[in-house]
Copies of this chain bind each other. A is one copy, B any other.
Amino acid sequence: MSDDPQSDPRQAFQELCRWSVETARWVSIGDVLGWDERTMMPAADGEHRAEQLTLLSGLIHRRWTDRRLGELLDHLETTALADDPHSDAGTAIRRLRRSRDRAVKKPPELVEELARTSVLGQQVWQQARRDNDFASFQPLLEKTVRLKREEAEAIGYDDQPYDALLDEYEPDARTAEITAVLADLRDRLVPLVSAIAESDRRPASEILRRRYPVDAQERFGRMVAAAIGFDFDRGRLDVTAHPFCSGMGPNDCRITTRYNERQPGSALFGIMHESGHGMYDQGLPTEFWGLPTGESISLGIHESQSRLWENAVGRSHAFWRHFFPQAQAAFPEALAGVAIDDFHFAINEVRPSLIRVEADEVTYNLHVMVRFELELALLNGDLPVAELPGAWNAKYREYLGIEPPDDADGVLQDVHWSSGAIGYFPTYSLGNLYAAHWMQAAKTDLGDLDEQFARGEFAPLLSWLRENVHRHGQRYSATELLAKVSGERLSSEPLITQLRHKFGPLYGF
């Protein structure tokens, strides 16, 4: 790096931007490696891929801890460029400072130990899940919890250790606030689930267990993704075991799905979900690619986009008023003679179940709640790892009224904890809450969205999201953005209202 930045703040800021874009390019190289690993790579080369990714993450970590970056930020923070926290420069300085501080605060030995434990943890977890053997996973999870506690201490927090971890996935969120809003959500969901359970109405869910040929599912899924606004000129759709979306470059965003001939919803709503993520990435301003003003705010906001398109759009009656005839043409064997209302009820069946990723729109958040409460207790030391399976089962009984027959379909079902991702789960529910806020605000601005959906018009909603969410990048925190768009604070009210509005008529309450 070149001249003394003290001389000219604009020059220092340009250097910071170059640093940021170049770092993002390195990160995006890792994105290509990661996407390829999960969609294309022969499994036999996995060890080599891990070595490549290790090299790359070492380089990226060295960039974040480079002394020069600290100098630039120290200097820029004293200049007028940092005055407006929402300006291009203010946003960049503020968000890069956050990430820099997190990187510098973690001792290198801890970073390394966490990385190693994460790789090992995932391997041991996979085996433990196959063997339905929590005990074999317990020592590694104990180590992970201990290391994450150390990480939280190293990073620091005002209120409680969980804050420091949550902050990585949901910047500026606080555990106490989230606990309050999610507890409120839980308390209002549980009676909703009970009301549904007590209803004597049941959908003809057998409709969704008929044969839906995979090639027709793929064609239909692509058609829907393009219709709602995913840009295939700047993206792709591929097959993988555990679907994800990866924004790999300013004009390269890739979504993935998996197909099951007897489970058409898995691919279709999966594609709409990942398209939601993808349209957010595609809606970020490309002129700011690699800078905080060109990046997504948080996992919660990202999830709000995917859940909005998957549920509020894809599972709405209006959506199917447009698409059901096409679905009947695409899947004549399964759908000929089926009434749209029966189909709509089937794709909205609410049934307490064991597996989070297969849960319906209503019970989903209770699955998240179980995990959030447990990981908080683990981190705070209120729950020893050895007692985790029992606590898991008790919470499933309490919130969902069912109990896992074994740990494989219980406490061992998710990869997150094995990889050290503690603080991640609540962002799934935050996504649902934000999505409901966006839908409420969009309806205020755009009028009758249902009429638009029924005509196959999704551009107004997408434009609204582009204008109100996507284009800002990281200019505002999630909380600030919500206030700006709706004048509200995060609440379970819009989601509960929307769920009651939708499921009341279906289940008759």
Contact = CB atoms under 8 A, between A and B. Distances in A.
Contact of A42 (B26, B48, B252): B252
Which interface residue of A36, A40, A42, A232 has the most chain B CB atoms within 10 A?
A42
Interface string A39-69: 0111111001101100110000000000000
A250 interface: yes
Given A32-B33, A36-B36, A249 B56 contact: no
Interface in A18-45: 22, 25-26, 28-29, 32-33, 36, 40-45
A249 B49 contact: yes
Nearest to A289: B48
A45 B251 contact: yes
A235 interface: yes
Contacts of A233: 42-44
A466 interface: no
Contact of A40 (B25, B40, B251, B289): B40
Given A22-B55, A36-B36, A28 B48 contact: yes
B40 A236 contact: yes
A236 B40 CA distance: 8
Interface string A220-232: 0000000000001
Contacts of A55: 22, 25-26, 29
A234 B42 contact: yes
A248 B41 CA distance: 10
A48 B235 contact: no
B250 A48 contact: yes
A268 to B, nearest CB: 23
A45 B236 contact: no
Contacts of A51: 25
Q: What size tier do the contact residues of chain A reach?
A: 20 to 34
Contacts of A249: 45, 48-49, 52
Contact of A45 (B33, B43, B250): B250
Contacts of A25: 48, 51-52, 55
A45 B254 CA distance: 12
B32 A252 contact: no
Interface string A414-430: 00000000000000000
Given A40-B236, A234-B45, A252-B41, A56 B29 contact: yes
A41 B32 CA distance: 10
A26 B55 CA distance: 8
A430 to B, nearest CB: 30
Given A32-B36, A55-B26, A48 B236 contact: no
Contact of A251 (B33, B42, B52, B236): B42
Given A48-B249, A234-B44, A29 B33 contact: yes
Contacts of A49: 249
Nearest to A54: B25
Contacts of A248: 45
A32 B39 CA distance: 13
Given A45-B250, A250-B45, A52 B36 contact: no
Given A45-B252, A249-B45, A52 B40 contact: no
Given A32-B32, A43-B233, 13 more contacts: A25-B51, A25-B52, A25-B55, A29-B56, A32-B36, A36-B36, A41-B252, A42-B233, A42-B236, A44-B234, A44-B251, A45-B234, A45-B250
The 9 lowest CB-CB distance pairs between A and B, nearest first, are A45-B252, A44-B251, A48-B249, A45-B251, A45-B249, A44-B234, A29-B52, A42-B252, A25-B52
6 contacts: A22-B55, A29-B29, A32-B52, A40-B236, A45-B234, A48-B250
